[in-house]
Amino acid sequence: NEEEEEEEEEENNLGLSMDIIQQVSQRARELTDEKISRTERLKQLGSQIQPLWELLQVDTDERHNFFVENTGLGLGVIEKCEMELQRLEQLKVEKLQDLVEEARETIRELWQNMEYGESQKEAFGPYMNCTQFNEELFARHQDYVAELREQNELLQPILDRFTKYIELYNEREEYEKTIQDSSRLLSRKRGALREEELQRKRVTLKLPKLIESLRKDVAEYQDEHGPLLIQGKLCLDVIEEKENDYLERKREEKERKKRQKMRTQSEASKTGTPHKNAKGAPRPGSIRRGAKENSQHNRF
């Protein structure tokens, strides 16, 4: 009987031990789940607090102190984070008008950088002029800023090269005027002729290559992303228009010089005045002919 009692007692003890183990295991699972839950909650709060700190330009030291004072997974830490989120949300509501105006300034800067035309701005125009400052209006501005920034990042390499094209285009205009002035060859300004040679290489070598590569890159961009507009016009059309304008002016200048030369020759033939060459000296034949005529007159 004693043996039976001992066996029964051992079985009871074993049963109690298993119950305790199960309870401990259950508690461990609960604590693990609680840890996961609190960790996720803190991550969620952090993902909401951080952007608001950035948006409201909260001082860096203030952010650091908040982190130092609120570490761990305690309920008190979670409560402090929830209170901070509420404070920031309220502060955002109070500053909505200022935040919208700041977003609008960013939009204008991006428009200018990407050479937006009026027709491109019209789509967002109603929101830019709206005076009902609320969460919805601010959200639309934020979304539009994000869209413009993404587009600007994609376009920036092409925009930089288009700006370089405009610079070289204008430099070519200056160079064309410079070489028309023959007195520049007598200039004693140090390095003037060397600078002119460098300028010639930029406008005659670099500019054509830049135009060719720009046309190629713009065409590839448009195949993938649609029309690339500059001040409301297709970028390629702007380039072609400027180049055609340049060639037309060159043609007109050539025609003008040709007409002027013919007019000078015609006037010279009517008056008997020796025709001068480009440097202003009479042609050799004209001098000999004039000398011969003078000698004949001198006989009388």
Question: Alpha helix (H) ranges present in the chain?
Answer: 2-55, 60-69, 75-94, 96-113, 118-121, 125-129, 135-178, 192-201, 207-225, 235-271, 284-298
- Report pLDDT for 5: 58
Residue-range definition of the domain harbouring residue 208: 97-180+192-271
Instruction: Supply the pTM of this predicted model.
Output: 0.68
Q: In this predicted model, what pLDDT tens digit does every residue of 61-74 receive, in sequence order?
A: 999 999 899 989 99
Q: Per-residue pLDDT for 28 more than 50?
A: yes
| Total number of domains in the chain | 2
- Report pLDDT for 14: 57
- Report pLDDT for 39: 94
Strand 229-230, strand 233-234: pairing: antiparallel
Q: In this predicted model, what pLDDT tens digit does every residue of 202-249 receive, in sequence order?
A: 999 999 999 999 999 999 999 999 999 998 999 999 999 999 999 999
- Please tell me whether residues 255 and 149 are part of one structural domain: yes
In a domain, 292, yes or no: no
The helix/strand/coil state of 131 is coil
In a domain, 69, yes or no: yes
Q: Give the integer Cα–Cα distance in Å for 212 and 223.
A: 17
- Please tell me whether residues 107 and 43 are part of one structural domain: no
- Report pLDDT for 7: 59
- Mean pLDDT rounded to a whole number for the chain: 85
Q: Give the integer Cα–Cα distance in Å for 158 and 164.
A: 10
- Count the Cβ atoms, other than its own, within 10 Å of residue 116: 18
Residue closest to 230 by CA, chosen among 119, 106, 109, 104: 119
- Report pLDDT for 30: 87
- Please tell me whether residues 105 and 210 are part of one structural domain: yes
Q: Per-residue pLDDT for 87 more than 80?
A: yes
The helix/strand/coil state of 99 is helix
